[in-house]
Amino acid sequence: MDQKLEHKKEIVVLSLKELEEKIVEILRSHIGQDNYITKKDIFYKIFGNPKNYTDIELWKIWFRMFPKAFNWLRRTTHCFIVNKRIEEFKFGYYIPKSREDIVPYDTMLKTNIKKMNYMRGRAEKAVAEKWYLEFKP
């Protein structure tokens, strides 16, 4: 038998629904902001350690799907996930159990609303000042 075929790697493929179910199961053990889990640790629990370039590339794809899964769970289930900045590029994820637990999420929403209002103002300004004239052929 060909050596290459003997070492074929099994690739874990999950639907978004299966990913959500696994996230919910993991988060059952992470109630309250003092009991957070990082996205990286969630990944390890679902997919294990990346062992090669292919694993890392699959991780990148799933990493982009996580926010969609988290948002879907927030909107459609009782698994409301809060993320809180732990370090500059590291966030902890947990299910809130107190009003204090939702403060980081509330702060993030308020910041996003400010950014959206700023962009709405720029859109209005673009129309009022006829910025489109700069792009006429």
pLDDT in tens, 5-40: 444 455 556 677 788 889 999 999 999 999 999 988
> 4 lies in a domain?
no
Residue 3 has pLDDT above 60, yes or no: no
Percentage of the chain surpassing pLDDT 90?
A: 52
Instruction: Tell me the residue type at 13.
Output: V
> 128 lies in a domain?
yes
> 3 lies in a domain?
no
> 71 lies in a domain?
yes
Provide the number of structural domains found in the chain.
1
> 28 lies in a domain?
yes
Residue 107 has pLDDT above 90, yes or no: yes
> 113 lies in a domain?
yes
> 123 lies in a domain?
yes
**So what's the pLDDT on residue 50?**
72
Instruction: Provide the b/e sequence for 16-43 (b: ≥16 CB within 10 Å).
Output: eeebbebbbeebeebeebeebbebeebb
- Where in the sequence is the domain holding 66, given as residue range(s)? 11-135
Distance CA 61, CA 67 (A): 12
> 23 lies in a domain?
yes
pTM of the model: 0.74
